[in-house]
Structure 1
Amino acid sequence: MAWRSRTRNLQVFDTELSADTVEWCPVSASNDVLVCGTYQLQKGAGEEDATPSRTGRLYLFEFRQEAGSMIPPLTELQRLDTAAILDLKWCHVPVSGHTVLGMAAATGELQLYMLSGSQEGGRSLQTLSSVKVGTERLALSLDWSTGRMDSSNDVRVVCSDSAGCVSVLSLAEGALTSLSQWKAHDFEAWISAFSYWDTQLIYSGGDDCKLKGWDLRVGPSCPTFTSKGHSMGVCSIHSNPHQEHILATGSYDEQVLLWDGRNMRQPLSESPLGGGVWRLKWHPTHQHLLLAACMHNDFHILNCQPALEGTGDACPVVASYILHNSLAYGADWSRLSLEEPIPCSPPVAEPKESLTESGGHLRIQYESPTASFDTSLENDAGQYIPESIAAPSTTPTAGPALNSNDDSSPLSGLLASCSFYDHMLHVWRWDWGPPETGAVLTRLEH
């Protein structure tokens, strides 16, 4: 029997500048922390050929959701004006006891911040280290070698840039040290990533439509493979932290390809999503779930289980989030537990008077043309509406159950996404479970 899938908006935040990257903190003590980065191109004043400037802002948030509360769950803790931000990634494990955030900047710098303070005393980001990967170029992406959450003294970062180069750096005693840099692509190297299972292996994707692999043990003089499986620029790569050899890639060609790293001649599956796939994120605990930010075609969650079991079939979309009105760029899963049960389908009821008296009203649920998902929205005043008084919903279905590591369990997920020209950050929830009324969802594991 098909399972029920539902996305619900929890909060919308105006970032003022164009938003392009969001990241939940993976370190257990700070799973409630979210960062968002922005990128704003400022045209030069006066002469037509004046050099434009690129500015940005880094936001730090804390997420706290109390059952039945009318208070929005996301609280801004800090905002820092910076160079334009192309990518943000938290180190998956503490470094010398500190939680560290990496930022790829339009100045060609890789910048590190340290999360200081506590939940009781307030938290903030403090500058830790910075290194320039090159002149007259933009740092476009970064990834940490710590994706399997293993503590290690060998913490490294890979960074790609607009000159087509890939750089590998080490982090020790709070400072970045360059280990190597090489020309990897003919045009912009949009993305670079570690194999989390063998961190001597690195993947890169560029605007030359090529996906390449590199082995640091033999040096970067020649890639271990060059794939032309994508027909346009490769802009997203993520190694599966739960299943060895599995890699997901996305491209401007609107395809998500799944690969077995032992055979890069042919992908395991091809899934057309539309819109250009800018970011891909594997679920933090469920090995078959993949989140995709699809630029002109919203955000989608894929169930990759059939493809990874060798069927060769495209990965079905089990949920979509469609409330952004601009380019879908940044997206990430949170590791926070969600304690509420799966929403039931209540009888039709009028909104509570406290809401209507405030000048707002509950919006009718949106049901997609495919009748696969439904979404609860905030009220017209932009206030967060708890599930207990949300609008009535339908009970659509969305594909088969997910066979996770041990069994088929319902789940709830907390996610964040951002869109570019409308400069919006959304925090939302996804529930997936059996269609029976009142089924209880399991918490996400840490």
Structure 2
Amino acid sequence: MTMSWRSRTRSLQVFDTELSADAVEWCPQPQWDNVLVCGTYQLKPPDEAGVGSATPSRVGRVYLFQFCQEGPLCPPLTEVQRIDTPAILDMKWCHVPVSERPLLGMATATGELQLYRLIDTQEGSCGLKVLSSLELGPDRLALSLDWSTGRGDSSGMRVVSSDSAGCVNVLSVAEAGLTALSQWKAHDFEAWISAFSYWDTQLLYSGGDDCKLKGWDLRIGPSTPTFTSKRHSMGVCSIHSNPHREHILATGSYDEQVLLWDGRSLRQPLSESALGGGVWRLKWHPTHEHLLLAACMHNDFHILHCQQALDGDGGACPVVASYILHNSLAYGADWSRLALGGPPPSSPRERAEGGGARTECGGHLRIQYESPTASFDTSLEDEAGRYIPENSAPSAAPPPTPAKGAPSISCLLATCSFYDHMLHVWRWDWSPEEAGLVGAEGGTGDQGQVGMIANKAQPGEKSATQLTQ
């Protein structure tokens, strides 16, 4: 009897964030790994922005939660704080404590980077307290941030941020807060994403709406990138360095592709995987080097198995699980480091519902890809009306065959979606078993077929164009 994997995803809790949700982050530090934050972004038209206002305003809110699964009938998330802020584009926890406390960095629509410290409260819980803020420059939105501490090294701690003026900004972090070190023009349009190489934090990567992926070496200065790749055919909006495998980099784009790279040879990617939706965020698993989480805007959330590509065998990375219960743009996604013991909680079979059309990928579709800034949209048709991204369905590569004695994996995740302003907390269980007992074939078990449907905008959702009018 041959072995196969059984993959199951189960929703644990859904939370209405009221404002459009676009970022979720679990605290990566062991003592606080039950802490979750969710960031929101809402564009208010001029008539709602205030008396005499002629321009829309962008407002946000950060939610702080604690996770504690006490039983199947108890909601595991408890909201402990909410703070009104400028609209949030990205947020990340520092991977190591600073002055023995976690630090949260936020990139905001006012062009500021804000630092919050997680503190203990008199009620025996925790809370966020503003530590520092720094404006990147006038008339710009801070679009992303990353910490240099991805492998747990606190020496020379820095933050990198990208902005809507196409600039990359590097800042140092000390107990007193943020200090600007350098800023340079990196991209012709919005610089959607910037990230450190966690293995050599003098190396940075950036991606922009000019469809370019660039590398930078802080030792030689930013006058010239170390490389420029045009391998993505649309805006590059996600980059993540693998903290477990040196030189490995994952990038995602509005062109619906996830590319894996070896930083020593950037002429061609190691692999290319089509996911059927613009890839807004990518997150490597905190302990398993081969698992990659992707937030795919119009096509839900997917977990990719990248071991074959990491071993140099090429080919698309198979999707081993999909979470399809959101009904709007899939933006924020993160893995928790919390260990989940025991079997998944029993619950009725869950299937995605809603009145929106769910359409097989392919054909001549027309999709308007909105960014969270609601400042532009991108048509995915060419002048002849042909759909630009090819092979848009998630990878149909076969799932890996488990090795004898392979352990099961149970993971806790959080994801959020934009116009329906929803935060979901869910678990994924992946276990080897004899083929023929379950017809999972790498699917999501209780949620049916993996990722072969595209989650289009639902009735009543506003497009980016409507939001800016």
Q: TM-score, with normalisation over the residues of structure 2?
A: 0.80
CA distance in 2, matches of 1:330, 1:268: 25
Distance 1:212 1:423 in 2: 33
Question: Contact conserved, 1:34 with 1:61, CA < 8 A, in 2?
Answer: yes
Could you say if the C-alpha distance between residues 367 and 130 of structure 1 is closer, same or farther in structure 2, counting changes exceeding 3 Å?
closer
Read off the aligned partner of 2:351 and give its amino acid letter. Answer: Y
Matching residue within 43, 52, 56 for 1:52: 56
Distance 1:199 1:365 in 2: 43
Contact map agreement 2:163 2:191 (CA 8 A) in 1: yes
Supply the distance in 1 between the matched residues of 2:198 and 2:35 (Cα, whole angstroms): 23
Q: Structure 2 unaligned segments of length 5 or more: list them.
A: 359-397, 439-469
Equivalent residue in structure 1 for 2:187, among 161, 182, 185? 185
Q: State the alpha-carbon separation in 1 of the partners of residues 186 and 399 from structure 2.
A: 40
* 1:2 match: secondary structure: strand
Point out 4+ residue stretches in structure 1 off by more than 2 angstroms: 46-50, 341-344, 362-369, 398-403, 435-438
Matched residues in 2 for 1:185 and 1:49: separation? 31
TM-superposed deviation, 1:154: 1.3
Give the AA of the match of 2:178.
L
After TM superposition, the structure 1 stretch with the greater mean CA deviation from structure 2, 170-179 or 413-422, is: 170-179
Q: Deviations over 1:177-206 (max 9, x none)?
A: 111000000000000000000000000000
CA distance in 2, matches of 1:272, 1:315: 9
Tell me which residue corresponds to 1:255. Answer: 257
The residue type equivalent to 1:324 in the other structure is H
- Post-superposition Cα deviations, 1:90-129, rounded to whole Å, max 9, x if no partner, equal 0000012121000000000000000000797110000000
Q: Which residue number corresponds to residue 426 of structure 2?
A: 428
Instruction: Confirm whether residue 64 of structure 1 aligns to residue 62 of structure 2.
Output: no
Shift in Å at residue 173 of structure 1? 2.0
In structure 1, list runs of 5 or more residues that go unmatched: 345-361, 370-397, 439-446
Equivalent-residue separation in structure 1 for 2:155 and 2:67 (angstroms): 30
Match of 2:136 in 1: 133
Over residues 270-294 of structure 1, what are the superposed CA-to-partner deviations in whole Å (9 max), with x where a residue is unaligned?
0000110000000000000000000
TM-align CA RMSD:
2.3
Tell me the equivalent position of 2:465.
none
Which moved further from structure 2: 112-121 or 129-138?
A: 112-121
Q: Which residue of 2 aligns with 1:173?
A: 175
User: Once structures 1 and 2 are overlaid, which stretch shifts more, 140-149 or 304-313?
Assistant: 304-313
Secondary structure at 1:29 match in 2: helix
TM-fit CA distance, 1:365: 3.9
The equivalences for 1:184-333 within 5 A come to 184-333=186-335
Aligned match of 2:41: 39
Q: Are 1:342 and 1:433, in contact at CA under 8 Å, matched by a contact in 2?
A: no
Question: Which deviates more from structure 2 when the two are superposed, residues 265-274 or residues 41-50?
Answer: 41-50
Contact 2:22 2:39 in 1 (8 A): yes
Give the secondary structure class of the aligned counterpart of 2:104: strand
Listed as ranges, the matches of 1:352-371 within 5 Å are 363-366=348-351
TM-score, normalization by structure 1: 0.84
Contact 2:335–2:413 (8 Å) recurs in 1: yes
Name the counterpart of 2:399. 399
Question: Deviation per CA, 1:361-387, whole angstroms, max 9, x where unpaired?
Answer: x75443999xxxxxxxxxxxxxxxxxx
Rounded Cα–Cα distance in structure 1 between residues aligned with 2:423 and 2:344: 24
Contact 2:11 2:427 in 1 (8 A): yes
Contact residue 4 and residue 402 of structure 2 kept, 8 A: no
Given that residues 278 and 293 in structure 1 are in contact (C-alpha distance below 8 angstroms), is that contact kept between their aligned partners in structure 2? yes
**1:86 corresponding residue in structure 2:** 89
Look up the SS of the partner of 1:306 in the other structure: helix
- Partner Cα separation in structure 2 for residue 154 and residue 45 of structure 1: 46
Task: Give the Cα–Cα distance (whole angstroms) in 1 for the partners of residues 257 and 206 of structure 2.
Answer: 17
CA deviation vs aligned residue, 1:404-444 (integer Å, no higher than 9, x gap): xx973211000000000000000000000012689xxxxxx
**1:204 and 1:402, CA in 2 relative to 1: closer, same or farther beyond 3 A?**
farther
Q: Check the 8 A contact 1:111/1:129 in 2, yes or no.
A: yes
Change (3 A) 1:363 1:337: closer
User: 1: distance between equivalents of 2:349 and 2:143?
Assistant: 40
**2:155 and 2:143 mapped to 1: Cα distance?**
26
Q: Deviation at 1:308?
A: 1.2
Distance in 2 of aligned mates of 1:337 and 1:125? 24
How many residues were matched structurally?
389
Q: Report what 1:115 is aligned to.
A: 118
8 A Cα contact 1:401 1:433, kept in partner: no
